[in-house]
Amino acid sequence: MRATLKFTNVARSTFFSTVRQRADAYFTSQQLSRHANGAMWAKAVFFLSSFVVLYCLILFGSFSPLTMLWLAGLLGACSAFIGFNICHDALHNAFSANKRVNKVFSLLFNLIGANPYVWTITHNVVHHTYTNIPGHDEDIEVAPGLVRLSSEDPLRPWQRFQQVYAFPLYGLASLSWVLRKDYVKFFQNKIGEHPTPSHPRREYINLFAYKALYYALFIVVPLLVLEVSWWQFLLGFLFLHFVEGLVLGLVFQLAHVVEGTAFPQPTAEGDMQEAWAVHQLRTTANFAPRSVLASFLCGGLNRQIEHHLFPNVCHIHYPALSRIVRQTAQEFGLPYLENPSFAAALRSHYRILHKMGRAA
């Protein structure tokens, strides 16, 4: 049995207190809220409107089968962008200072196939606390036995080719959420080493009720309305989720599994001897930080360092925070990992997969 993991900050680093004070000073001096501004609300309206329009076009539009397939793919991508830009902030209580607003927007997570309660445990609690720590952070366990991301994992012969087959596997992430993952995580006794012995009764109801709603909206209704064969519907449904899963999977992998990011192990006593914030810098990387398009689509998750240090701040403020974090990290002699573009991060991730698929 693993010892309870804790961050002991042996070096007594004051990095986090310093960067937090500077961030506080920024918001105070600029008289800014840490939550959504007008631009953020405009993004929310844009993505939600796009989702509704695409869904209605698929159900009521008269298009060729190929056009319908592409509309399904666009709906999948839009679902991922809603997750990044709206639900993610809401689940971190970062979208609004009003908890009810955050609650309403977090419920939209159900409409992209994922359970917000399970996500709060696996992501907000476990991943954000134990980032990239094997055996604790289950978010880095992509198809265990098929994809090897840590040198601590056993090497299998077929993983020699994982740099090729890993990317199609990422495309299954959304489908797994819809059909399997949420149920498995909900009924596990622990996630990583975080115990989950019981859940509120209402969450049992929410899990099955919202899953039923999702199946009704994306399986039952299309089958009733669309004049397509069962295999055409199945192809569209799978393509929607492949696009959604690939977008979700790549954004996560390019933030935590690229060259330079660490997969640290605790001591035998369960100690992580660095400060928690320093650990975040060593295990997290930004990509395409100067790309307006990446920032718009990814909900600020291309600036994952800032998100991990300030998860309760709306992502619309990450560009300003990134300057503060970078400067402070440099002053403390700490890494600030960054790939200049999406393509550069993708190549770096590919090289990690190639390296981890072979013996040291």
Do the beta carbons of residue 133 and residue 266 sit within 8 Å? Answer: yes
Element (H, E) at 6: strand 6-7
Task: Give the pLDDT confidence score for residue 149 in this predicted structure.
Answer: 85
> pLDDT higher for 308 or 1?
308
The mean predicted confidence, pLDDT, of the chain is 93
Percent of the chain beyond pLDDT 90? Answer: 83
Task: Give the pLDDT confidence score for residue 274 in this predicted structure.
Answer: 92
Which sign does the torsion angle of CA 173, 176, 145, 120 carry? positive
Is the per-residue pLDDT at 266 higher than 50?
Answer: yes
How many structural domains does the chain have?
A: 1
Return the minimum-mean-pLDDT range out of 100-104, 192-196, 242-246, 260-264: 192-196
Give the model's confidence band at 259: pLDDT under 50 very low, under 70 low, under 90 confident, else very high: very high
Position 308 in a domain: yes
| pTM flag (> 0.85) | yes
Tokens at 173, concatenated:
């992430």
Residue 197 CA to residue 217 CA, distance in Å, equals 32
* Residue pLDDT, tens place only, 124-179: 999 999 999 988 888 777 777 889 887 778 899 999 999 999 999 999 999 999 99
Task: Give the pLDDT confidence score for residue 360 in this predicted structure.
Answer: 75
Is the per-residue pLDDT at 3 higher than 60?
Answer: no
- Average pLDDT value for residue range 180-205: 90
Task: Give the pLDDT confidence score for residue 143 in this predicted structure.
Answer: 78
Q: Residue 310 sits in which domain range?
A: 6-356
Position 1 in a domain: no
* Residue pLDDT, tens place only, 88-119: 999 999 999 999 999 999 999 999 889 999 99
Is the per-residue pLDDT at 2 higher than 70?
Answer: no
- Nearest-10 Cα torsion for 299, 304, 308, 309: -100
> pLDDT higher for 59 or 62?
59
Q: What DSSP assignment string belongs to 248-278?
A: HHHHHHHHHSSTT-------TTSEE-S-HHH
Return the minimum-mean-pLDDT range out of 209-218, 260-269, 291-300: 260-269
* Residue pLDDT, tens place only, 13-52: 999 999 999 999 999 999 999 999 999 999 999 999 999 9
Task: Give the pLDDT confidence score for residue 1 in this predicted structure.
Answer: 43
Position 82 in a domain: yes
> Which pairs count as long-range contacts for 31-34, CB under 8 Å and 24+ apart, including other chains?
32/317, 33/97, 34/94, 34/97, 34/312, 34/313, 34/314, 34/317
Task: Give the pLDDT confidence score for residue 54 in this predicted structure.
Answer: 97
